[in-house]
Amino acid sequence: MIDIQVGRRYSEAIYEIAEQRGDVKEVYEILNTVMELYINDVEFKNFLLSPLISTDEKLDFLTEVFKNASKENLEILYYIVLKNRIINIRGIVKAYLEIYYKKNSILDVKGIFTRELSEEQKEKLISKLSKKTGKQINLEVVVDKSILGGGILKIGDTVVDGSIRKDLNKWKEN
C-alpha cells in the first residue's frame, strides 16, 4: 500500500516535470531502465541500497551508467536516490505509465488465447476494442493451452471470458 502511494506521489511530480519539458517518453525510458536493472541485476540493486556507499558515489555511478541522458533527466534519478526511494522504483514506473496512458487515452488489454494470434487477428481485435472503448489499445497476447479454445480478455478490472472451458464448465453445472 505504501509503495503504491509513494509511487503515485513521485510519478505525478516526475510526470508533470517531464511533460513541461516535453520529455515524457525519455523520462519513462530512463525510469524503466533503472527499474529493469534494479529487478534483474543484484549488484546494481545492492550498490544503490548499500548504506556503506556514499550518496555521491551512487550519483557518480548513475551519471556513468546513464552518460547519454540529459542533465535534467539525470536529476530525476538523483532525486529518487537522494530521497531513498529507489526501493519504490516499481511503483513509480507503474504509476508513471498509468498517468501516461490516462492522458493519452491508452488502454492496456491482456488477451489470453490457446495459440498466438496472427497480425491480422491482432489488428482486428485492436480495431474492435478501440471502436468500443474510444481509446488506443495496447494489446498483450498470452498463450495458454489450458483454455481449450476461444479467448479471455482482461481490460483493467473487467474480464471477458469467451473461452470454451467456461462454456464447458457452465454446461457441466447445468
- Reduced to 3 states (helix: H, G, I; strand: E, B; else coil), residue 109 is strand
Location of C-alpha cell 487477428: 121
Do 8 and 94 lie in one domain? The reply is: yes
Structural domains counted in the chain: 2
112 and 97 in a common domain: no
Gap between the Cα atoms of 106 and 67, Å rounded: 31
Domain range for 40 is 2-102
- Alpha-carbon distance 165 to 169, whole Å? 6
Q: What is the pLDDT along the chain (174 residues), one digit of tens a residue?
A: 677 788 899 999 999 999 999 999 999 999 999 999 999 999 999 999 999 999 999 999 999 999 999 999 999 999 999 999 999 999 999 999 999 999 988 888 999 998 898 999 999 989 998 998 889 988 999 998 887 777 888 987 788 877 666 655 666 676
Enclosing H/E stretch for 105 = none
Three-state SS at 92: helix
84: alpha, beta or left? (left if phi > 0; alpha if psi -120 to 50): left
Q: Are residues 92 and 141 in the same domain?
A: no
Residues 6 and 83 in one domain: yes
